[in-house]
Amino acid sequence: MIRAILVGIMIAGAAITVEASDSCIECHGNRQRMESLGYGHFTMNSKEVGAQTRMPATCSECHLGNPVAKEKEGAHRGMARLLVVGKKGFTVITSARRYPLEYGTNPMNRLYTVAGKDGMPVKDTSVTAISWHDKRVDTLSQDFEVMGKTCGACHRKEFEEFSRSTMAINGKQSQYKGWITPERGPHNCGPWFEGNFGALQANTQLPLSPEGNRINQKACNTCHVGCLDCHFNPQKKNNADPSRGPHTFVKTPPSESCYGNGRASICHAGPEDRRRGAGYFGGSFSFPEGNEPDVHLKARVGCLDCHESTKSNPAIGHGMVKRQAQDSCGRCHPEAVKTHATSRHRDLSCEACHIQKVAGYQGTYWGPGKIAGTATPYFKYKAYYGYMPEPVLIKDQKGRWIPVKPFPMAVMNQKGSPFTPGLHWRYPSDLPELKRTDDAWGYVGLLDGLPENNKALLWIQMDKMSHKLGKSRSCDSCHGSPDGAQLQKVTWEYSDPGAMPFNGSHEVLADRNGLFIKGMRSEKIEPEQGYSLSAFAPWVYLKDAWRIGGDFSLPVIKDRKRYETFRDSPDTRENAGIMHH
């Protein structure tokens, strides 16, 4: 009798599950009914969804809602939806979408929303971002409640581990609590606005409204990762491959997911191809567009092939990815790593020689402007996009030479600053590898001299570069100068709000006396109405102010004749232990 009751319960449970699932499919599986409602494009059935997700989950187990309700409003109540973010106020557009996502060919913007115009679908220009349904509607940050009810309901261990990971808690950027955080210093990405409004307002000369503070933070939150950012991989439906379609999931995140997976320059695309200027993908992700990608892209070596994660080490915890990957070079290049360790250049990182033509930001300034239609003293004028021929090499905290791209930065309208001029490091060298970075910055000072937006906090951004590996730079690019000086001539074009586009250039000099950004010049600048030159181009007034002291010269070659012999003969260099094999 007990057995009969248990079997009855099991059958009833199975029936409820099928019924719950089928209540969604009653509409979405019926093309005629969906077309009569005007949403024929959203027709789907359990079989094709299952083939794409490769999971037995029902519709409501992923999307929530009320699967028992028979009417549209009731069934969709509480449903987790795709977040379509509008340009005005970064507000989620709540009106029902008439069309599904479209798929383009540009890998950076392959996913986009469309709207109807004259009865035809066209790209929706009112949309600034797309986020998946595990993000919060109000802040655009992760929605751990939704994640727990959906992905976490079946993948409890993975969800709990991810919730503690650096990516989930925004463990790096959230430590920049303002422009004058003593432990970290000012950062190109700006401060963490959430929870720090009082401190930011206290050191800002212009009014900083709560709404402006909130909008600034929402702009940051679009990069914050949830479960779907890594594992959801929607694609155009392919009848020849049932696994490809708008519900496609992947167990191991592809490298594209680390770059936003077709939803603009977000996640690691921004920090790598914009800020550091030496990204893995390059191409359409680079600024200016078309910079060469990392040589490993063509060789199909992905992010998780080099960066340790649960794919290679389950003990690391789900969602944790090891930042430092230099130990992985030896797996594919054992001879080069072995001979480099005993060579004359053993104190150079691999990237120091193998990165050239650094793109991305060549200057960034935070001044008053509007973001998503809201006034703020902190708009990021970042589109000084251009090229530096080779990185500048500096010694890291352990004495190893690493490549950086020094570029001028300023935040206007500050009241005070606690920093001392000179070179600083974002994170100390004694932190474990999962927490440490090798990023540096140089504090210049709190300067007067602007006609408005005065008291500008100046620094030199110097993030370490690790990607865009390729052919090694020439010997003369480091040792051509007899006194060890490094000189890079930088060209750029400005294309952000504030002025009509204009071209310019400057030089970066690193020698025994310090690090200097000098000779900043441009063609005539025509500011737009309502913008002041000091907000987006303070360098016009401050000239060559970006400089810090210290010895940034490279080792001097004393025997130039012998150097020329090695320079002109790669075999001789290798046999003499100057370079690796």
What's the confidence (pLDDT) of residue 5?
42
Q: Answer yes or no: is 121 within a domain.
A: no
**Tens digit of pLDDT for each residue in 234-274?**
999 998 999 999 999 999 999 999 999 999 989 999 999 99
323: Cβ contacts below 8 Å, ≥ 6 apart: 307, 433, 434, 436, 437
Residue 367 · residue 412 · CB < 8 Å = yes
Percent of the chain with pLDDT over 70: 96
* Mode of pairing for the β-strands spanning 364-371 and 407-411: parallel
Same domain, 311 and 441: yes
Under the banding of pLDDT at 50, 70 and 90, the label for residue 428 is confident
Same domain, 329 and 458: yes
What's the confidence (pLDDT) of residue 15?
35
Q: Answer yes or no: is 258 within a domain.
A: no
* pLDDT at residue 95 greater than cutoff 90: no
What's the confidence (pLDDT) of residue 505?
98
Domain-ending residue, one of 47, 68, 89: 68
Residue in 450, 452, 458 with CA at minimum distance from that of residue 541: 450
Under the banding of pLDDT at 50, 70 and 90, the label for residue 22 is low
Six token digits for residue 4:
């009969």
User: What would you measure as the largest C-alpha separation in the chain, in angstroms?
Assistant: 98
Q: Answer yes or no: is 297 within a domain.
A: yes
* pLDDT at residue 20 greater than cutoff 50: no
Provide the H-helix boundaries in 66-164.
72-76, 144-149, 151-154, 156-163
Q: Answer yes or no: is 407 within a domain.
A: yes
**Tens digit of pLDDT for each residue in 350-406?**
999 999 999 999 999 999 999 999 999 999 999 999 999 999 999 999 999 999 999
| Interatomic CA distance for residues 503 and 525, integer angstroms | 9
* pLDDT at residue 12 greater than cutoff 90: no
* pLDDT at residue 3 greater than cutoff 60: no
Q: Answer yes or no: is 101 within a domain.
A: no
Least confident range of 156-160, 278-282, 564-568: 564-568
Q: Where do we find the tokens 């359409």?
A: 284
Same domain, 343 and 486: yes
* Mode of pairing for the β-strands spanning 401-404 and 127-131: unpaired
Six token digits for residue 254:
């592809």
Q: Answer yes or no: is 234 within a domain.
A: no
Domain-ending residue, one of 68, 95, 125: 68
Residue in 300, 457, 495, 277 with CA at minimum distance from that of residue 377: 457
pLDDT higher for 9 or 62?
A: 62
What's the confidence (pLDDT) of residue 326?
60
Residue 128, phi then psi, degrees to nearest 5: -110, -20
Six token digits for residue 168:
């989930």
Q: Answer yes or no: is 396 within a domain.
A: yes
Same domain, 195 and 63: no
- Structurally, the chain folds into a number of domains equal to 2
pLDDT higher for 393 or 7?
A: 393
Domain-ending residue, one of 68, 95, 124: 68
* pLDDT at residue 44 greater than cutoff 50: yes
Q: What is the pTM of this model?
A: 0.92
Q: Answer yes or no: is 115 within a domain.
A: no
What's the confidence (pLDDT) of residue 6?
40
Query: What is the average pLDDT across 175-185?
Result: 93
* pLDDT at residue 11 greater than cutoff 60: no
**Tens digit of pLDDT for each residue in 194-229?**
999 999 999 999 999 999 999 999 999 988 899 999
Under the banding of pLDDT at 50, 70 and 90, the label for residue 172 is confident
Residue in 340, 345, 335, 302 with CA at minimum distance from that of residue 321: 302
Average pLDDT over the chain reads 92
Under the banding of pLDDT at 50, 70 and 90, the label for residue 171 is confident
* pLDDT at residue 523 greater than cutoff 70: yes
What's the confidence (pLDDT) of residue 338?
94
Structural domain that includes position 473: 182-221+269-581
What is the SS3 assignment for 577? coil
Under the banding of pLDDT at 50, 70 and 90, the label for residue 16 is very low
Least confident range of 26-40, 319-333, 511-525, 561-575: 319-333
* pLDDT at residue 561 greater than cutoff 60: yes
